[in-house]
Homo-oligomer: A and B are copies of this chain.
Amino acid sequence: MFPFDKNAYLERFSKIRKQTINICKPLAVEDFVAQPIVDVSPPKWHMGHTTWFFEALVLENYLQDYKDFDHRYGFLFNSYYNTVGDRVQRPDRGHMTRPTVEEIIHYREYVDEKMIHFIKSESEKIDEHLSYILELGLQHEQQHQELLVTDLKYILGMNPIFPVYKDYIEEVPDSKDTEVKFINVEEGIYEIGYQGNNFCFDNELSRHKVYLNPFRFMERLVNNGEYLEFIEDGGYSRFNFWLSEGWDWVKKQDIHAPMYWHKIDHKWYHYTLSGLEEIKPDDPVTHISYFEADAFASWKGKRLLTEAEWEVVCQINEPLPNKDSNFVEKENFRPLPCKNGKMQLLGDLWEWTGSAYLPYPNFQKSDGAIGEYNGKFMVNQMVLRGGSCATPKEHIRNSYRNFFHPNLRWQFTGIRLAESL
Contacts and interface: CB of A to CB of B under 8 A. Distances in A.
Contact of A242 (B243, B290, B376): B376
Contacts of A48: none
A255 interface: no
A97 B155 contact: yes
Contacts of A358: 354-356
A260 to B, nearest CB: 15
Contact of A243 (B29, B208, B355, B378): B378
A362 B94 contact: no
Contacts of A300: none
A359 B36 CA distance: 35
Q: How large is the interface on A (under 10, 10 to 19, 20 to 34, 35 or more residues)?
A: 35 or more
A379 B406 contact: yes
A97 B209 contact: no
A377 B31 contact: no
Contact of A33 (B97, B240, B242): B97
Nearest to A378: B243
Contact of A30 (B80, B101, B247, B371): B101
A210 B211 contact: yes
Interface string A184-203: 00010100000000000000
Contacts of A80: 244
A96 B159 contact: yes
A160 B76 contact: yes
Interface in A32-49: 32-36, 44
Contacts of A28: 97-98, 100
Nearest to A161: B98
